[in-house]
Homo-oligomer: A and B are copies of this chain.
């Protein structure tokens, strides 16, 4: 019962009218929109169908349940995360942090809406986190580790902790304050928090030298 249908149901189906190739994405998009606007529990399949310009039958032909649909919708938001390799630590960080700036943050909002509201199902939780939260967070972590390996950052800094600051802030703002990170805050975060924590003085000369 709690099994999560990861792929498509079954039939390869070479016979008969083929499925509308665009409809699947339209349904997923509609799902995301409704979740964003109403929250998970107030998300009704009828509304999703209506917004996707289709019927519930078409939805259930693709996913076995509302839960499966929502998981798929969450996964469809999986952002392209490119590991930055600008010349400087600061620029690398900026690129990573920009993943969290407003437009991209749609995904985080979906995550926030789905997470706690979802019938406490660990599969769902895991799927949502893995597809939405993890990639961007991992990029940040990797960048920091790389600069530590390069010797530019003191290996003694708790990289995991520092790497989790921005994801946390982004999630917090979006979930509680209902506003994504703006560019300005993102830059401030890098210059006034991350770099100092990484032992790199930029914003102000912290030393009297």
Contact = CB atoms under 8 A, between A and B. Distances in A.
Interface of A: 38-42, 112-113, 115-120, 129, 133, 154, 156-158, 161-162, 164-165, 167-169, 171-173, 175-176, 185, 188-189, 192-193, 196-197, 199, 201, 203-204, 206-209
A39 B119 CA distance: 7
A205 to B, nearest CB: 9
Most buried by B among A112, A116, A154, A199: A116
A156 B117 CA distance: 40
Contact of A164 (B133, B158, B171, B172): B172
Contact of A39 (B117, B154, B156, B172): B117
B168 A172 contact: yes
Contacts of A154: 204
Contacts of A172: 164, 167-168, 171-172
Contacts of A168: 165, 168-169, 171-173
A119 to B, nearest CB: 6
25 contacts: A38-B120, A39-B116, A39-B120, A40-B117, A41-B117, A116-B175, A156-B204, A158-B188, A161-B192, A161-B193, A162-B193, A164-B169, A164-B172, A168-B169, A168-B172, A171-B172, A171-B175, A171-B176, A193-B193, A193-B197, A196-B199, A199-B206, A201-B206, A207-B207, A208-B209
Nearest to A193: B197
A123 to B, nearest CB: 14
Contacts of A199: 196, 204, 206
